[in-house]
Amino acid sequence: MEQYDVIIIGAGTAGLSAAIYAARSGKRTLVLEGKSCGGQIINAKAVVNYPGIKQISGVDFAMGLYEQAVEAGAKVLFQKAVRIELADSKKIVATAKQNYACGAVILAMGAKNRPLGLEREAELTGSGVSYCATCDGAFYKGKKTAVVGGGNTALEDALVLSEYCQKVTLIHRRDSFRGEWQTVQELKERSNVEILTDTVVTALEGDRQLTGIRVRNLKQEKEWVLPVHGLFAAVGQTPQSELVRDLVELDDYGYIKADESCRTSLPGIFAAGDCRTKEIRQLATAAADGVTAALAACQLA
């Protein structure tokens, strides 16, 4: 079995930051990633709030992290971790391909977009339903779209879409937005943006391609069909913690319980970034978690 000191699961910002620190500490470091590296930040057109970097695209940021980790000596493999086992003081991480042993594991699986929970939502994903306006918005140039959600992501998605869509309807189930006031004002000034508060989406219409959505005003008890080609869901996230559900303690929402030291309920297993219980989930805090977890892991491994 291949032996490592530290195995990091997930090659997003937290995972790759951890890899840089673990590898630079001289530890044999492996990063396992089931999809592509970079995590959620690759969907950001521009990152403008990372201290010390005025502006960078999410992809360039992610690729910079990847290259930095590899150059520091970390090995990054595109294999999905499917199981973690404990064997004496060692931890075994299994992928579909092979098993790897290590002294410490850093869980950095991140979070993914929460679905709206509508019938046929999965079926129509990619055919009108999307969770990323930055990624898929361009497919709906000149068309009618809708955005669901009340936070900053929803507001910014609506703003981005309004640049090139014929019309954008922002739908939120409450009467006020959680996101920044400034952005709401900006949206209100745009002639092609319609804002529906106290409104929910109840059904998706269209055979193989989305043609409209059924919406319901909760206060007026009124329901109607809104013709749209694209529906962008921005209703929050859900942690990717299935891998360790039976291994470490999770909170009620499925986030891995760990404090600022990134230690989980199991010695030698750390949690970093968006999959951890925490107040703030930002790029800089994900990187900070990676560093903290790596240095703690290095003391053990």
Partner 1 sequence: MEIKVITKETFETEVLQAKEPVLVDFFAEWCGPCKMLAPILHEIAEEKSDLKICKLDIDQNVDLALEYGVQAVPTMILFRQGEAAQKIVGLCSKDELLQQLSL
**Alpha-carbon distances of 8 from 57, 133, 147, 156, 172, rounded to whole Å:** 24, 29, 35, 32, 37
275 carries an active-site annotation? no
**3-state DSSP call for residue 99?**
strand
Among 36, 55, 238, 261, binds partner 1 (CB under 8 A): 36
Nearer to partner 1, 58 or 273 (CB): 58
Cβ-proximal residues to 52 (8 Å cutoff; 6+ apart), any chain: none
Element (H, E) at 276: none
**What minimum distance in Å lies between the beta carbon of 156 and partner 1?**
18
Q: Which one, of 231, 44, 230, lies nearest residue 141 by Cα?
A: 230
Nearer to partner 1, 160 or 269 (CB): 160
Using CB under 8 A, which residues numbered 57 to 96 contact partner 1? Answer: 57-60, 62-63, 66, 76-80, 96
Q: Which of 5, 37, 102, 136 is catalytic?
A: 136
261 is an interface residue for partner 1 by CB under 8 A: no
132 carries an active-site annotation? yes
Q: For residues 257 and 254, what is the distance between their CA atoms, to the nearest angstrom?
A: 9
41-50 burial string, b = 16+ CB within 10 Å, else e?
A: bbbbeebeeb
Nearer to partner 1, 60 or 121 (CB): 60
**3-state DSSP call for residue 299?**
helix
Among 16, 18, 32, 37, binds partner 1 (CB under 8 A): 37
Window contacting partner 1 (CB under 8 A); options: 56-64, 113-121, 176-184, 225-233? 56-64
**What minimum distance in Å lies between the beta carbon of 140 and partner 1?**
14
The footprint of partner 1 on this chain (CB under 8 A) covers a number of residues equal to: 19
**What minimum distance in Å lies between the beta carbon of 38 and partner 1?**
6
Tell me the CA end-to-end span of the chain in Å, nearest whole number: 17
What amino acid positions are annotated as catalytic residues? Answer: 132, 135-136
Q: Return residues touching partner 1 (CB under 8 A).
A: 34-38, 42, 57-60, 62-63, 66, 76-80, 96
